[in-house]
Amino acid sequence: MVVRILRQAFILTYIFLTMCALVFTLSKKQVPHIKWPLITHFYAMMAPFQNYTTDNAEMMIYGQDRNGLWTKIEYSEYFPFGRGEYAIRIRMSSFRDKNAKYMEIARRILEAENAKGSGYTSVRMQWESWPKSQYDFYGNYTAEQVTKNVMAEYFAQ
């Protein structure tokens, strides 16, 4: 009987501490009177929820022609991997000066596109974000809902 009570107490404590970690993960508020060292293990289990955002974001690449018209350049030719890996790699977390790297990428894309005969005068790389949709990654990607942040623009010499 004592073993059964201890087992149930252990399970209830485990569930309680997991809930404390979930409360902190979602609200960034600690449950009163519960010390942080007790929660650290359970907080680590909440990793999928720690960086949840309500927006989708992606680095878009555009080329500008001689008439000033911007055309989206498909990045898959230059970054031949899936959307998730592209999103991680293009953030370039390991570089301190990301602007210089983005300018280098824009220069190389401009040269490659013009070698194919595109005739772009400049290439722009910009982060675009928009509200998530329950149906599709690009479900709410509309001109009214997209926020654009230019990271680099390289002009032809």
Q: Do 83 and 134 touch, CB atoms closer than 8 A?
A: no
Which residues lie below 8 Å from residue 43, measured CB to CB, with a gap of 6+? 21, 24, 25
Distance CA 91, CA 58 (A): 10
Per the model's pLDDT, the better-predicted residue between 93 and 129 turns out to be 129
Dihedrals phi, psi of 141, to nearest 5 degrees: -80, 90
Per-residue pLDDT band at 153 (split at 50, 70, 90)? very high
- Name the region of 35 (left: φ>0; alpha: ψ -120 to 50; beta: rest): beta
pTM of the model as a whole: 0.68
Residues 6+ apart with CB under 8 A from 79: 86, 89, 90
Q: What string of DSSP letters covers 60-89?
A: EEEEE-TTS-EEEPPGGGTS-S-HHHHHHH
30 has a pLDDT exceeding 90: no
Residue 140's pLDDT band (cuts 50, 70, 90): very high
Cα 9 from Cα 123, distance rounded (Å)? 62
Average the pLDDT over each of 21-25, 122-126, 137-141 and give the range with the smallest value: 21-25
